[in-house]
Amino acid sequence: MQGEQRMEEQKRVDRVMRLIREQLGKLLQSSSGMREDIVDIRKNFWDDVTLNFEDSAEAAESAASLKQQAEVLAEREHSHRHAEQQVKLLRKLEQSPYFGRVDFIEESSTENEQIYLGIGSMLDETGSNYLIYDWRAPVSSLYYDYSPGPAEYVTPTGNIKGDMTLKRQYVIRRGNIVSMFDTGVTIGDELLQEVLGKQSDAQMKSIVGTIQREQNQIIRNERARLLVVQGAAGSGKTSAALQRVAYLLYRYRGTLQPDQIVLFSPNSMFNSYVATVLPELGEQNMQQTTYQQYLEHRIGQSFALEDPFAQMEYTLGAMDDPSYETRIASIRHKSGAAFMKVIERYVESLGESGLLFKAIKFRGRKLVSAEAIEQHFYSLNKSYTVPNRMKMVADWLLKELTRLSKVERKKQWVEDEMELLDKEAYIHVYNELRRKEGSSSESFDEFDREKDMLASMIVQERFKRLRSRVKKLRFVDTQTLYRRLYENEQALWLEEVHLAEWEDIRKLTVEQLYRGELTYEDATPYLYMKDLIEGFQMNTSVRHLFIDEAQDYSPFQFHYLKRVFPMAKMTALGDLNQSIFAHAALGNGFDPLGDLYNKEETETIVLTRSYRSTKQIVEFTSSMIEGGSRIVPFNRNGDEPTITAAANVEELQARVAERIRTLQGEGAQSIAVICKTAAESLAAFEALAGVCPGIRLVEKETVTFENGTVVIPSYLAKGVEFDAVILYNASRSVYGKESERKLFYTACTRAMHELHLFYTSEPSPFLSHAFSTQK
């Protein structure tokens, strides 16, 4: 029976493969025809339109002809792009046409329909029956959500109920069924076993064939304004997020463009790590960025801006700094949503008095003084908001500039510059005058008017920068205003800051700001203040915001993002056990998303099954954290993690090098030596480079993720995985403080198949459980 079924299925695969090849052949032929057409049209574009501008009727006809030709070209280009996408999809289907099947009898029918699922849809030769359904089609969710038995799926027009009579999975390679099995459980473990047992790629994998039920809920969620995914390390949060992007682009094709989806990822290297997953699914990529990139874009050159990794290096390594405790308190305080209130009150008070402006200067002279701007601002009706008044000030300044530019034209410097003008400028002015006055006049004041015009041209050119600065509201002194927030010790806006450390935080911040430094914890509050004064720079075109590693964002940052992207639904994916930033490191109840949206708009999905690591590694790592017993390992066995003691650093390095060579010898594709900080990484790299050829150092500037052997600081390894992880120095002296527990856990959970830890003198206390179970 089994054999017969398999033969039947193979026959179907053969038929589908034949059709794929036929369709591919036809498409290639017609698409090459289309390409030639396009090249032809582009080449002969101007020959095929009739251009005649003699009178208005002729000109209108020319315009129509031009438009028509452009439309033909656009239409061909569109069809060609579509054909190309279709070719790409068929090429992928040719590798493996489908991975699953469900048989389903709808409640109102007796027909047992067979639904085959693949990475894209395909119709039969009649064009009316689906041979393969796209995995994102409504009916396909049956496969992910149910076992055989009563089942239903959601369509845009309502729910369809029925009975699933069969669920089958396939592994098909180049047109041959390699394996096939019927499954009772949601998605059979056998296939997952096979997928997870593989070596890691340099890029993230697409998981369409083995998406789990809980993951499917994330992927297809359409209701929630805020979808929170709290999932254990390696539970597929990032994977599900990427499939969700693909799903949304499919579900809303035609209305949702890839650039209306933004993914905030933990670092630039991570972008290259996930970059290829979506094209793999046949989609163009969404926009990817990091929070730091956004800050840099907004803050520009105004300050020397610290990045989150520099902040992390400080919190991990600068315990000897006398201001250390103050800085940590400062980070915590400025990360909270309550601090937003302080800034709001401050800006409110600025509406009454205290705003600071910069004079508009030109050639070393003040054109409009700061006092004049201030006076104008406060003369405006106070019932207008601060940003509205700011806009009015800008309009007033632009008018002032127009007036002042006329005065400026008479200045000697203009005369001087005129002498230096080249011939083209003169010709240009001459022609302009002719154009304005018609060809007739050769009047006596010609020379004066030419001079006037040249002067106006020179001044206008130089005033351009001033105007653009005014339009950007650069006349507001936001840098000093931010410092003032801290300078005044008894200010009203600080009323609610009941913090023992506040006095020290205040002083420390003022010092930093005097030095022109803006710390990472100050960056978002600064922007918030700036936006409250100048008006929010909102992005209303983005419809979906994905925040990966959400636990690394502060509540303040989340509220801020919500304001910047007011039209976007938010999907926040995180693991509180991997909260490695100082603002969260100690608070176990830390919940950055607490009150972002109200309850009706928020949905939370918890993932507890961990797919990345072997059972042994999951059991080992989950013993390090509170609530770790809730993490369910996927049933995939491997070697126990090892913990090796070394007498001193030299021996530790020799042992690590030996382990690397063994792993390389065993064929591990990706090996990471994870260190705590950048400084430790550099030292490790220098010690290992001579003895482990090909080893590379990953730094925060590294932008591409590649396979091989790397030395990497813990916080850059976030979100990424490796076949084997070596924890370079798991000594108590390195990971001893409670606040380092989550960092340690994050580092260890990067391992897929093997985990090896090394230490000198005393092991980290986070390993105590591992030791007690070893004995």
Report how many residues bind ligand ATP under the rule CB under 6 A.
Answer: 23
DSSP labels, 69-113: HHHHHHHHHHHHHHHHHHHHHHHHHHH-S-SEEEEEEETT---EE
**524/614 with CB nearer ligand ATP:** 614
Strands (E), 549-666: 569-574, 602-607, 609-610, 632-633, 642-646
Taking CB under 6 A as the rule, does residue 754 contact ligand ATP?
no
Q: Which of 210, 290, 579, 760: binder of ligand ATP (CB under 6 A)?
A: 210
> Which x/- pattern over 25-64 shows residues binding ligand ATP (rule: CB under 6 A)?
----------------------------------------
CA-closest candidate to residue 45, choices 68, 28, 22, 25: 68
Query: What would you report as the CA-atom Rg of the chain, rounded to the nearest whole angstrom?
Result: 33
> Which x/- pattern over 607-646 shows residues binding ligand ATP (rule: CB under 6 A)?
----xx----------------------------------
Taking CB under 6 A as the rule, does residue 714 contact ligand ATP?
no
Q: How far is the CB of 236 from ligand ATP (least distance, A)?
A: 3
Residues 6+ apart with CB under 8 A from 25: none
Taking CB under 6 A as the rule, does residue 592 contact ligand ATP?
no
Q: Which of 749, 754, 758, 766: binder of ligand ATP (CB under 6 A)?
A: 749
Scanning 63-71, 230-238, 357-365, 585-593 for contacts with ligand ATP by CB under 6 A, the matching segment is: 230-238
Rounded-to-integer distance, Cα 151 and Cα 321, Å: 62
Scanning 8-16, 232-240, 399-407, 765-773 for contacts with ligand ATP by CB under 6 A, the matching segment is: 232-240
Residue nearest to ligand ATP as judged by C-beta position: 236
Indicate the DSSP class of residue 599. G
Taking CB under 6 A as the rule, does residue 212 contact ligand ATP?
yes
Rounded-to-integer distance, Cα 467 and Cα 461, Å: 10
Q: Which of 211, 373, 454, 513: binder of ligand ATP (CB under 6 A)?
A: 211
Report how far apart, in Å, the C-alpha atoms of 723 and of each of 115, 234, 277 are.
36, 13, 19
**239/760 with CB nearer ligand ATP:** 239
Taking CB under 6 A as the rule, does residue 215 contact ligand ATP?
yes
DSSP labels, 722-758: EEEEEES--BTTTS-SGGGHHHHHHHHTTEEEEEEEE
Taking CB under 6 A as the rule, does residue 188 contact ligand ATP?
no
Q: Which amino acid, one-letter code, is at 613?
A: S
Q: How far is the CB of 213 from ligand ATP (least distance, A)?
A: 10
Taking CB under 6 A as the rule, does residue 235 contact ligand ATP?
yes
SS3 640: coil
> Which x/- pattern over 164-183 shows residues binding ligand ATP (rule: CB under 6 A)?
--------------------
The β-bridge partners of 166 are: 103
Q: Which of 145, 408, 522, 575: binder of ligand ATP (CB under 6 A)?
A: 575
Q: How far is the CB of 212 from ligand ATP (least distance, A)?
A: 5
- Long-range contacts of 564-569, Cβ-Cβ distance < 8 Å, separation of 24 or more: 564/536, 564/537, 564/538, 564/539, 565/262, 565/538, 565/539, 566/538, 566/540, 567/540, 567/541, 567/542, 567/543, 568/262, 568/542, 568/543, 568/544, 569/224, 569/225, 569/226, 569/227, 569/543, 569/544, 569/545
Indicate the DSSP class of residue 63. H
Angle between helices 649-665 and 678-689 (to 10 degrees): 70
Taking CB under 6 A as the rule, does residue 96 contact ligand ATP?
no
Taking CB under 6 A as the rule, does residue 102 contact ligand ATP?
no
Structure tokens at 537: 């720079």
SS3 220: coil
Q: How far is the CB of 679 from ligand ATP (least distance, A)?
A: 24
Q: Which of 177, 195, 202, 425: binder of ligand ATP (CB under 6 A)?
A: 195
Q: How far is the CB of 309 from ligand ATP (least distance, A)?
A: 17
Q: How far is the CB of 206 from ligand ATP (least distance, A)?
A: 8
Q: Which of 134, 408, 721, 754: binder of ligand ATP (CB under 6 A)?
A: 721
Q: How far is the CB of 140 from ligand ATP (least distance, A)?
A: 15
Q: How far is the CB of 523 from ligand ATP (least distance, A)?
A: 25
Secondary structure of 390-454 in HEC code, one letter for each residue: HHHHHHHHHHHHHHHHHHHCCCHHHHHHHHHCCHHHHHHHHHHHHHHHCCCCCCCCHHHHHHHHH
Taking CB under 6 A as the rule, does residue 234 contact ligand ATP?
yes
Q: Which of 231, 592, 641, 713: binder of ligand ATP (CB under 6 A)?
A: 231
Rounded-to-integer distance, Cα 283 and Cα 15, Å: 27
Q: How far is the CB of 116 from ligand ATP (least distance, A)?
A: 19
Taking CB under 6 A as the rule, does residue 239 contact ligand ATP?
yes
**195/654 with CB nearer ligand ATP:** 195
Residues 6+ apart with CB under 8 A from 439: none
Q: How far is the CB of 208 from ligand ATP (least distance, A)?
A: 9
Q: How far is the CB of 243 from ligand ATP (least distance, A)?
A: 9
Residue ranges in contact with ligand ATP by CB under 6 A = 192, 195-196, 205, 207, 210-212, 215, 231, 233-239, 575, 611-612, 719, 721, 749
